[in-house]
Amino acid sequence: MGLELRQQLKLSQQLVMTPQLQQAIKLLQLSRLELVESIQQELMENPFLEELDPEVVDTAPSTDSLDDYESAHNTAESQASEEVMRSADWENYLGEFSSVTKQSMGRELEVPEEGLSLEARLTCRPSLEGHLNWQMRLSRFSEDELDIGDVVIGNLDSRGYLQATTEELQSLLDGVSAEAVESVVQRIQRLDPVGVAARTVQECLLVQMEVLGLDDPILVSLVRDHLEDLEKHRYKPLTKKFRISMEELKEYLDLMQTLEPMPGANFFSGEPQYVSPDVFVFKNGEEFVIVLNEDGMPRLQLNSYYVENVKAKTSTEKDYFQDKIRSAEWLMKSLYQRQRTLYKVMESIVRFQREFFEDGVTRLRPLILKEVAEDISMHESTVSRITTSKYVATPHGIYELKFFFNSALDLDDGTQVGSESVKALIKQLIGEENPKRPLSDEQIGEILKQKLEVNIARRTVAKYRTAMNIDSSSKRKQIF
């Protein structure tokens, strides 16, 4: 057979991800803060896009129904210009040309910088590295010792422990002896916080005891040789070895608890992350009302002045203007579609998890993404994206939307209960237990079988307890 060129028609289907579609999908999974940042970035880059003044027009879609939300969205642009002329604060617009009286009133409300405390001017919390470097340079460290100290501090972990051996530190320094490295390490250990740069918990606590003058031989031996025994509550062999009573051992334990096993933890703890709910769910009579949180969300519109008055002089400019206008229109459409999808998903979750919204976590039922997707006629991946990093304020607290999707456990009567409900009951049982006689995983499983008639194995109880960062019964037991 010979080779030849032919023309052939072929009909096929393929998925084409346009940039606009990629942007719409990306907006679905952005958190509230990330979405605001993305909109602000587009406002800076697109001259045809502008933000409505929130004091001029208030058309936020915090409504009781999706129809009201769509109506408010469609009428925003038509009402903007009328509201600007009717409710604009012309005195504020004049700025420095307004009355002297108003300027003087503004100055009286200003807080003088001289009156602020030093703490009020801090921009961020000091780091452990900066705190130790500051102390070293105020102490009698030579230049060579400062170089060694910088390498030591650079190898501390989040707890303040040194994660390098003396030999490894030497390899990072040129021609420095092991004695010089160890000398600097010991001096750093006695800076604030005391015990930092230790290699083990024992070394950390012993350094603190030395600085505090705690030199009781029994206490030193307990810390140096018997921390594992104390952790596992093996107290009776210790009382026999040191010939002390349980009351005396308790005094030693109370003294050890005043020490800090993780001296650097306070410096590495990040700032608290505050969550702003994307949706609010309120109960009004016998029904639940869903309200989208639009507080702080930029309200967008096309810049009418640019659209009407800016004319392209070349084909390149014309293509640029058309591209930016299409981009602005698509962004506004994508934002509306995102909020609409979020509303529909939340509406479906309320239908499926109504018992949770009525009575709390213990009534949470099993739910998977596919059920919600079929309920609102959307793809499962869309539901997954819109529930990522989104939070809802309910009558029982603030929860991530992913929280409402959980696996199922079978009951004796053939029905099912959600795994999150079982976790909540396990946490409740442990919270109400006698600390001197804590419940074992097997006992918790038996109580759940009697209380919920749920078929749950001991290993499942242990898995859920571990997931909630709850210790085993042997570690929860209080001897004293």
Highest mean pLDDT, choosing among 98-102, 348-352, 424-428: 348-352
- The CA distance from 377 to 321, in Å, is 36
- Above pLDDT 90, what percent of the chain? 31
pLDDT band at 102 (very low <50, low <70, confident <90, very high): very low
Taking residue 269's Cβ as centre, other Cβ atoms within 10 Å add up to: 10
pLDDT at 69 over 50: no
Average pLDDT over residues 314-338: 87
pLDDT band at 62 (very low <50, low <70, confident <90, very high): very low
pLDDT at 175 over 50: yes
Average pLDDT, the chain: 80
pLDDT at 219 over 50: yes
pLDDT of res. 100: 42
- The matching CATH number, chosen from 1.10.10.60, 3.40.50.300, 3.40.50.10490, 3.30.1490.20, for 408-476 is 1.10.10.60
| Bridge partners for 397 per DSSP | 394
pLDDT of res. 226: 92
pLDDT of res. 90: 41
pLDDT of res. 465: 87
pLDDT at 84 over 80: no
pLDDT of res. 440: 87
Q: Is residue 59 within 8 Å of residue 75, measured between CB atoms?
A: yes
Residue with tokens 């942007």: 23
pLDDT of res. 109: 42
* CATH code 1.10.10.60 region(s) in the chain: 408-476
- Above pLDDT 70, what percent of the chain? 79
Q: Is residue 398 within 8 Å of residue 280, measured between CB atoms?
A: no
| Bridge partners for 50 per DSSP | 301
Is pTM, for the whole model, over 0.85? Answer: no
User: Which tokens belong to 186?
Assistant: 């010991």
